[in-house]
Chains A and B, each alone.
Chain A
C-alpha cells in the first residue's frame, strides 16, 4: 500500500477552495518542524458569546455555528495564530458533523458549516503572502462512542463523510482527525475522508491524533500500542497525540510512537493538566514553560508537527515557534513490529517464542459446546467460551458462527458485539461469506485477521475480501487452494501462495506481514496412499513460502493432521507435528495451547513412531501408522498419557510411572489392580517410592522442574492415602524415620520448609512441622515430645543464619546431640559445616535442597550408606526459592575445610572524598526539589487487574515457580513456558481475580526530610523542626563512599528534601488461602499460589513506586522496556530494608511508624521486624537521579 500521501495537490482546487501553488504542508514537514495553532474554544470563550452570537438560545454552546454567525471572531483568532507563527490553522469544525449538529437540530447544516469554516480559514491564509500557510480541516471525535454501541457504523461513516466533503470543498489543505478517543471511530473517519476525496477526485493528506487519558489509554481502554497496530495499515501522513494532558504526561506515549510509528509525528498537548481554581478551569503552563516542554519533546522524539490544545493561546504558539525557531527535526528511526490488536492490546506477530496459538473453541465447526449455546441463542454463554480460551493460553481468538439453518451475519454480530469489549486478545474472523466478514469488521475495534481467502472460485472473490481488509484495516489468512482444488505438493502450494501474494500485496498493497499463508495439512490417520507424504509437503511448503516471500506469515489448522485417530494419539500427533512445523518456520497454529504436549514429555520410542509417520519413514515390515494403530486401538480412547501408554507395562512400572508423571487421578485404578497382587506396604516401599526416587534423580540432573516434582508428590500423597485403609495399624504407622521441622525465630518464610516437608513425607518419612517463627524453647519442647531422628531448621533471612547458630549453641548447652539439618537462602555450605558445626556437639548438615535433605535423612536413619548421601546438588531450596547452581560437591560427613582462594591483591586508593556535610562528593546536589502532591499518608486499594500489568512474569515463572531450573535446551525451555507455565499463569490470574484471593492494599506517603552525615531525619511537616524518626544507614568504606542519606539534601544546606515511603500487601486472605491449599495436600497449587502472591506484592510495590515517580514528576525517564523498568529503569531508587545499602530490618518499624501501617492497612511486624501477612513489602523511595542500589 502506498504508505503516505505527502502532496497537497495544488493543481486540483475544490469547488471554492483556493489551494495555492506552494509546497505542500507535508513536503515541508518531512524536513522541518511545522507549527499548528492552539486552542480555539478558549479563545471564543474570551469573547464571552451571548445567545445572540450563536443565532439564538437553542444554539448556545454550538461553537461550530459561530463560523456562520460571527465569522469576524473566527478570522481574528486564525489571524492571531498566524501572527504568532503558526504555519497551519485548524478550522473551527471540531464538532461539525451530523451526529453532533443533530443535537442542536441542524444536522442538515453539516456540509455548509464545514465549507464556511474552511473558506474562512482559507481567506485568512490567503492574506498571508509572505510565507506558506495552510488550512487544516479539523474533524473531532463527536459525542458518541461507537465501540460502546452509542451509534452504528453506517451513521457515523455518513456523518463524517458529509463533514469531509465540506472541508474539502471549502479549501482545506489537510484533513485532521483529532482528539480521537476510540480506535474504531478513527478507522471510520479515515474511511469517510478517503471516500470523500475519491468523490471529489482529489487527494489530501490525512493526519490522525489520538487522545491518551491520564489512565494511560484512550477513553475506551486502548493503549497506544493498540492504536498504532490498528492504524498502521492506513495511508496516514502523520500520527500523533493531542488533548487530555500536558506535555509531561504525553512523553511515554510519544516516545513509543517515535520509536515505532512509520508516520510523521504530531504533538499538540494541553497547557498542562487542568486545575479547578474557584470553580474555573485553569491550565497551569504559561507560554514559556509550555514552549520549553513541547520543544523538549519535539527535539527528543523527532516530532514534525507541534501546536497546542486546550488552554493554549497565541502567546503559547509564539513562545513555541521561538523556542523551535531553527525548525530542526530531532532524529528518529522508527521500527514497527507487525501486530494485530484487540480493543485494548496489541499482539505482535513477530514473536520470539513461536507459535502464536489461535483458540478454536469459539467456532461452531469445532466446538459442540459453542454450537449448543448458539442453538439456545445464549450469546453470553459464547462470550464465556471466548474467555475460557484466554485462560487456556490463546493469543488470538478464531470466531466462526457458520451453522446450518441459522443467520450467520446476525449470530456473528450478536457474538462479536459482546466479545470485543470483554476479551483482550485480537479476533480472527472465520468465515468465507463476504457479508459476514464485512459485518464483523464493522464491529471489531482493533485490527482483526480475516480467515480466509483462496482461489477456489477464481480471483474475484478473493479480491472482494481483500478490498474489505484494506478498507477496514485487517490482516488476512490465505489458503493454498485454487481452481484445481487444494494444493497437495510443495510446488503447487508455493505457486498458489505466490499468485495470492501478487494480488494481496501487489494490487491491494497489504504488507507481507499482514498476509498469513495456510499451506493446508491433511490427515495422516487414514492410511490413504495419496496423503502419506502430505506432512512433508506441508512442512517444506512452510519453509519455501517464507523464503520466497520474506516477511509473510504462516499458519496451520493443526488438528487436521490427526483427523480420524483416537483422542490420545491425536493429541500426540498434533504436538509432534506442531513441533516440526515450528522448526520449519511456522508462525501460528489454530489449536488449543493446553492440548499441546511438550515433546520432551513424550517417551522417545513413541515419539519415534510419530516422527516416522510425519516423515513417511516406511521400511519393509514397518509402517508407523500400523504401529500406532496397534499401540492405541486396543485401549479406550483417552487423553491421558499413561493410561494408554503404560497399560502394557508390568504393574510396578506402571505405578512408578504414575508417580513420575504426577497423575493422581490415574493412579487409583492401577492401585486397585496392584492390591490384588501385592501388600499395600510393599506397593509403597517398592514401587511408589521407586517412582519418587526417579523423580529425585531427574530433578537433580536438571531434567525435571520443581512444579512437576510437586505434582509427583501429590500423586504420592493420594496413593498413600488410598492404600492406608488396606494396611493394618502396625503397618500404616511404619515410617522410615522422623524429623522435626521449624522455621527459626522471627522468620516468617515457610515455603522452603514446606517443600522439604512435602518431599520427606512423600518419601516415607514422618515429618512434624511446627511452622514459622519458632523460638528455640518451642523447638526443644517439641523435640522432647516427639523424639525425632533429626531436627531441620529453615530460614530465609541473613539474620536467621545467626539464630540457627545460637540455637545450636543452646542445644549444646542442654546436652542435645540429635543431628540437625540446616537449609535456607542465606546459608552457605561453608558457614554450616564450619561455623555452625563448631558450636554443636552433634552432627550438623547443610541441605542445599529438599532432595539433599532426603538423602541426609536416609543416611541418618541408616537407610542408605553414609557415602551415598554425597550429593550432586540440585536446588529445591530448603528455605530458599532461588536457584544457585553448581556449588562444589561436599560430603556432609566430612566437612571440607579448604576454601577456594579469593584474595585482593591490590586495592586502588580512589576513595571519594566526603563533603563538609559528610556526604559523598560524587553525589550532585539539586536546587530544585520535587514537590509532592500532598504531605502525610494515603491508603489505596488498587484493582488486581491494574497490578497484573506490573507483574514480573519472568521472575515468577523462572524463579518462583522454578520452571527454569536445570540444563534445558532452548527448545525444551520454550516448550515448558508455552505448554505449562503460561497457561498456568493465565488460569491463576483469572482465579485470583474471580475468587478475590489477593486483596491488595497499600499505604504510602510523602515526608519532609534532611540528611546529617549517615543519618536521615524525617520531620513531622515541611515547616516543622520536630523529628518523627531518624534512619541511620551504613556508608561504603571505599570507592564512592556512598550512603543512602547522600541522596537527600543535607541539613546544612537549609533545604528540606522529600522522602516517599510505602507498604503494600496482598492481604490476610492470601495467607489464609495458601495455608488452606497446603493443608489439603494441593502442593503444586500451594506452590504456584504462594509464588504468585509474592510476585504480586512486588508488582504492587513497583506500581506504587511508578505512581510516586509520576506524582513527584520524575517519571520521564521511566523505561518502556518492562525488563529494564523492573531493573531500576527509572529515575531514583526504591530501597527495602534488609538489602546491602540499608541492612537493618529494625528500620521497618521506623517506616511503619511514619505510615501508621498497622492500623491503616493491617500489616504487622514480628519481633524480628518482618511483615505479616507474608506477602507484603515496604520501602523508602529516593527521587535523586544518582540514587541506585549499591553494596556496603
Chain B
C-alpha cells in the first residue's frame, strides 16, 4: 500500500504498490495530461516533490529523454512511473507558468 499526494489538487490517493501512475490518474481524476503514453512527447512531465526512491527507476529511453530535455533532477515522465511507496507529485504542465 502506498500513499500519493498530488500537490496541485491537494489530493491524497491510496494505491496498491506497483501500480502505474497512468492507471491511477485515470481512476481518481487528477490533473495530469498524458500524450503519447510512451515516453516520447513529454506532456506528462511531473516533479517528484518527495519519494523519488519509491518510484520505478527511469529506463534508458526515459533517461535519454530527460537529459535531452534539460529536465530538473526531480523531473520524471508520468507515463513511465510505477508507484512503489509514498510520494508527492506535482504536474509540471500548468505549474511552471506560475514560477
Contact = CB atoms under 8 A, between A and B. Distances in A.
Nearest to B12: A906
Interface in A382-423: none
Interface string A906-936: 1111100000000000000000000000000
B33 A958 contact: no
A1139 B15 contact: no
Interface string A940-962: 00000000000010110011000
B46 interface: no
B8 A1126 contact: no
A1127 B43 contact: yes
B61 interface: yes
B49 to A, nearest CB: 15
A844 B17 CA distance: 29
A1039 B8 contact: yes
A243 interface: no
A589 B97 CA distance: 45
A1185 B97 contact: yes
Secondary structure at the A interface, as helix, strand, loop or mixed, is loop
B65 A1123 contact: yes
Interface in A1135-1177: 1139-1141
Given A903-B14, A906-B11, A1190 B42 contact: no
B70 A1123 contact: yes
Interface in A791-808: none
A902 B12 contact: no
A973 B65 contact: no
B36 A959 contact: yes
Interface string A962-975: 00100111100100
Contact of B10 (A900, A908, A973, A1191): A908
Contacts of B3: 905
A952 B41 CA distance: 9
A1191 B36 contact: no
B78 to A, nearest CB: 11
A729 B78 CA distance: 55
Contacts of A1042: 94
Interface string A884-918: 10100000000000001111111111100000000
Contacts of A904: 11-14, 28
Contacts of A461: none
A959 B38 contact: yes
Given A908-B11, A958-B61, A1039-B9, A1188 B27 contact: no
Contact of B60 (A883, A952, A964, A1185): A964
Contacts of B42: 1123-1124, 1126-1127
A958 B40 contact: yes
Interface residues of B, number: 50
A1038 B9 contact: yes
A1036 interface: yes
A1191 B31 contact: yes
Contacts, number: 138
A1191 B25 contact: yes
B16 interface: yes
A325 interface: no
B18 interface: yes
Contacts of A276: none
Contacts of A901: 1, 14-16
Contacts of A967: 59
B12 A1127 contact: no
A1103 to B, nearest CB: 16
B73 interface: no
Contacts of A1141: 33
A338 B69 CA distance: 20
A1189 interface: yes
A405 B22 CA distance: 69
A903 B40 CA distance: 29
A1139 B34 CA distance: 9
Contacts of A352: 67
A904 B14 CA distance: 6
A32 interface: no
Contact of B31 (A882, A902, A952, A1190): A1190
Contacts of A900: 15-16, 18-19, 23
A1068 B24 CA distance: 40
A239 B25 CA distance: 50
B94 A1190 contact: yes
Contacts of A952: 40
From A907, A1037, A1140, residue with most partner B Cβ within 10 Å: A907
Contacts of B16: 900-902
A883 B40 CA distance: 10
A158 interface: no
A1040 interface: yes
A903 B13 contact: yes
A280 interface: no
Contacts of A1191: 25, 29-34
8 contacts: A882-B38, A901-B14, A902-B23, A958-B40, A967-B59, A1038-B9, A1042-B94, A1188-B97
Interface of B: 1, 3, 8-16, 18-20, 22-25, 27-43, 45, 59-61, 63-65, 67-70, 82, 93-94, 97
List 4 tightest A-B contacts by C-beta distance, closest first.
A908-B10, A1127-B42, A882-B38, A1189-B33
Given A907-B11, A908-B10, A955-B36, 19 more contacts: A882-B37, A883-B39, A900-B19, A901-B15, A902-B16, A904-B12, A908-B9, A954-B64, A955-B41, A958-B61, A973-B61, A973-B64, A1039-B9, A1127-B69, A1128-B93, A1186-B94, A1188-B93, A1189-B33, A1191-B29
